[in-house]
Amino acid sequence: MSKIPIKGYATFDPLKHCMIGSGFKTEWFSEFQIYKNNKIMDPLKRIAEETEEDYQKLDTLLKSLGVQTYRAKLDFNEIGSLKNIYRPPVCPRDHFAVVGETCYHVNVPKHDNICYTNILPQIDQSKLFLDNTEQIWDFPLSTAQIVRVGKDIWWDTKNLKNPLADAMTKKYKKRWEEEGFRVHMTNTGYHLDGMFCVVKPGCIVSVLDEVPDYATNFPGWDVLFIPDQHWSKVDPFYEMKDKVGGRWWLSGEENNNQLIEFVNTWLNNWVGYVEETVFDVNMLSIDKETIICNNYNKEVFEHFKKHKVEPIIFNFRHRYFWDGGIHCMTQDFYREGTQEDYFG
């Protein structure tokens, strides 16, 4: 079997090899007393089944667009208990970074590494960089927080007051600069793929007008700002907001206190922080002319048309439970293209 090739210089270069995440199965809960509680298990079953349906639909879509796909699969028989995992591999983007011709899998906790035991051996080992010697839980080396635009990289880091994290940041920044990249640092604590999307050269969609400084970093580029647009889509979220601390939402279960208590107690690491994530810009480019997005937005689609980009709507139904959009639930392994200088 041929190995998965590795290359990634820009988020909009033609995508050829891509990993897709996976969720969970309801039988994994058989060890819990709630397994026969329909008030809890019926919604969990709905999440499990519809999440897998959506992954399969995405798999079919990507293959139809000429992309070779790979599924992250958690082998439950290997771990034996739901208590032994942190979170299913729903958002592989959080655990990998492809920069240039290297795939980085850095500081991924052991309980998360279990999720990728079927994927790691398939990657071209000469291009796989593993570093789990000094685990810093929040050290952000992933393409959820790294935006690649040819020769330029925007990287958001946090925990800079931690000396070890600071040293690791300098280590990778130096490595990439030696490979010819210009590395631009931000320190917002956000996942950049939830803040802005570089659709193609000259075209950006963003929810923030200050991260990064577009006039300085992308001079002359056409940036569409859509601040706060996403919350109009999830009005019922506010009914559930206080009960869950703003961290997740499942439509129709706003008053299901048994489910809320169970998720908050046992699945605390499974849900993210939806109040800080904007899914409308969490999009996956297939190439400079094609992009997959979560839903329809008139302004965004007019922006796409202006720049001759064809949008494909793909609705990840439980993105507000998992805190992850189409970009998060994938990890591109190989895109055509080179270290082109778009600002030289």
| 98-154 pLDDT, tens digit each | 999 999 998 887 777 788 989 999 999 999 998 876 666 667 689 999 999 999 999
| 5 occurs within a structural domain | no
Domain-located, residue 309: yes
pLDDT at 300: 92
Indicate whether 230 belongs to any domain: yes
Residue 157: the pLDDT is 84
Percentage above 70 pLDDT, the chain: 88
pLDDT at residue 233 greater than cutoff 60: no
pLDDT 10s digits, 22-65: 998 888 888 877 778 888 888 888 889 999 999 999 999 999 99
* Distance, first Cα to last Cα, the chain: 41
Does 331 fall in a domain? Answer: yes
Q: Structural domain of residue 258, as residue ranges?
A: 15-335
CB distance 21 to 323 below 8 Å: no
Residue 311 resides in a domain: yes
The answer to whether position 340 is within a domain reads no
Residue 342 belongs to a domain: no
What's the CATH code of the domain at 20?
A: 3.75.10.10
Structural domains of the chain, count:
1
Between 64-73, 201-210, 268-277, 334-343, the lowest mean confidence (pLDDT) is in 268-277
Distance CA 183, CA 161 (A): 20
> What does the pLDDT read at residue 236?
63
Q: Is the pLDDT of residue 273 over 70?
A: no
pLDDT of residue 128: 96
Q: How far apart are CA 207 and CA 196, in angstroms?
A: 6
Burial class (CB in 10 A: 0-12, 13-18, 19+), 192: buried
